[in-house]
Structure 1
């Protein structure tokens, strides 16, 4: 039986950071990733630009070189996948973790085989599960919770739900390609978290009428050729559209966290973990990256969660040295 010191679930930036930290400390590790390396970034919109500068996206002090002030999706893929290749990260891609059980050590069942490990790091992100609106018509073919590029929506009537970076980027790009864009926004203004160089652009497009926006509004129903919403004054309006982009955010895989026994607290389903060690209520299972925020997915991102790798591996080393981890 091959036994790993650390098994890392998720091959995104933070999962890779954990792998590099484990290797530096001579721990036997493996990374299991259900898609490609940096899979969430791969599924970002094609022309997405990060809010952070390149240096704040670096892991393990490996320079992130880019000619742009703010790196884009392709820059990030080149960087993180390049690290996986050049550092020969022990990673299994297109292999999904199905179940984790513990007896003396952890037994990890994947879509391909069984692994055994002394410690588990869950660094699964949150981009795979849309935050559903739970309204009639949300499952219609014209509705998508993901946006890739504007070209399919040229000269179409497109309803964009939300006011986050993803919603604003989609609205602006589609508008520039000739799409007629209407935004439905629950709050009274564009989100304050929108990239500072983009926010004036969307506000000006709304002000001039290039993009119509309903602030303080709620989408009630989606129909084959229209959508029904309630305005901020309680008026019910039906708006014609060809497509609906529901940019309502994404969630961690709470079913997976529950299944492996991690406690989830309050309505935000914040997972239980020690803020110093990142260890959960289950001895030997750690959380790293944005998954730590539960429904509050804005709390953690690459820039401020890179430190999790050092916190976790340091704790594992301390346990190993004090013989709390069985050999």
Structure 2
């Protein structure tokens, strides 16, 4: 069995960047990706636009050319998948990493298709696969969705959208403009400050004029087949008619996978323990890269500020090999 210098778990932008950095330094490597290339981006809303400008999304020193000030999902898919083709990145798709274990100086990585051995492992799995559940009655009903792709299925429907993040705000505006009757249930007293600055006035104006109903300092307590029940800011229980619920309450990393790999999780945010300058975890030669480093605080890391992780990791691996 071949012993790889590096096995990378996750074929998102940061995982790809790690592979490019390994390739540049003649290190044998393989990416294991459970879906398609940049799988999380593929599952983003169809018409999503990034907060970042194109140059901040670049990896491997390869220019990202976009005619728009803020590139969209399709442009990003073309860019990152194009890099994988052009650079002939060594990547296995539709193969899920199941377990990482270590014996002596070598890692064994078991996947849905094979077993690999490697001197170093980089986990760059992001956080988009596991919804942050509300844990309320009715959350498992078919009308409840934790992901939003496009507005057309919701035309002329009574929508409840839970949350006030970028995804919730985009869904509220887009479904409203396709004829849905939209009600937002928001735990906080205002729309999230992280909402894209060019979108925030739009949602606030739609709420102010009454086109979109919004209940602040409120929370959903139950979902039934034809209604939702929520508690408002005065503590009163309300029930309204409803066809669909978009519970866009955020997503979390696969903490069980991290923990089972031997990584210590710390504090209320379950931050994976790692060295800030090398990205090495408490398990020697097991590294983290990208947004997975932030634990529950998924707003801490983005493509633009975690691209550097790949250089930090490869630099540390090369230093150890001297």
Q: Which residue matches 2:183?
A: 182
The whole-number CA distance in structure 1 between the counterparts of 2:14 and 2:135 is 31
The whole-number CA distance in structure 2 between the counterparts of 1:303 and 1:45 is 20
Please give the secondary structure, in 2, of the residue aligned with 1:314.
helix
> Deviation at 1:97?
0.6
The whole-number CA distance in structure 2 between the counterparts of 1:85 and 1:61 is 16
Q: Which residue matches 1:73?
A: 73
Q: Which residue matches 2:48?
A: 48
Please give the secondary structure, in 1, of the residue aligned with 2:182.
strand
Q: Which residue matches 2:31?
A: 31
Q: Which residue matches 1:112?
A: 113
- The one-character-per-residue Cα deviations of 1:188-240 (angstroms, maximum 9, x if unpaired) are 00000000000000000001111000001011111111111111111111011
Q: Which residue matches 2:303?
A: 302
TM-score for the superposition, normalised by structure 1? 0.98
- The one-character-per-residue Cα deviations of 1:105-127 (angstroms, maximum 9, x if unpaired) are 11111111111100000000000
Q: Which residue matches 1:16?
A: 16
> Deviation at 1:178?
0.2
> Deviation at 1:266?
1.1
Q: How many residues align?
A: 321
Please give the secondary structure, in 2, of the residue aligned with 1:167.
helix
1:1-327 correspondence runs (5 A): 1-104=1-104, 105-321=106-322
The whole-number CA distance in structure 1 between the counterparts of 2:101 and 2:235 is 51
- The one-character-per-residue Cα deviations of 1:247-291 (angstroms, maximum 9, x if unpaired) are 000000001001111000011100000000000000010000000
The whole-number CA distance in structure 2 between the counterparts of 1:244 and 1:88 is 42
> Deviation at 1:5?
0.3
The whole-number CA distance in structure 1 between the counterparts of 2:240 and 2:268 is 33
Please give the secondary structure, in 1, of the residue aligned with 2:201.
helix
The whole-number CA distance in structure 1 between the counterparts of 2:161 and 2:171 is 8
Q: Which residue matches 1:325?
A: none
The whole-number CA distance in structure 2 between the counterparts of 1:173 and 1:247 is 14
> Deviation at 1:173?
0.1
Please give the secondary structure, in 1, of the residue aligned with 2:51.
coil
> Deviation at 1:61?
1.1
> Deviation at 1:60?
1.2
The whole-number CA distance in structure 2 between the counterparts of 1:64 and 1:96 is 29
The whole-number CA distance in structure 1 between the counterparts of 2:236 and 2:3 is 62
Q: Which runs of 5+ in 2 are unaligned?
A: none
- The one-character-per-residue Cα deviations of 1:47-71 (angstroms, maximum 9, x if unpaired) are 0000000000000110001111100
Please give the secondary structure, in 1, of the residue aligned with 2:82.
helix
Runs of 4+ in 1 over 6 A off after TM superposition: none
TM-score for the superposition, normalised by structure 2? 0.99
The whole-number CA distance in structure 2 between the counterparts of 1:11 and 1:220 is 37
The whole-number CA distance in structure 2 between the counterparts of 1:291 and 1:167 is 22
The whole-number CA distance in structure 2 between the counterparts of 1:108 and 1:293 is 23
Please give the secondary structure, in 2, of the residue aligned with 1:229.
strand
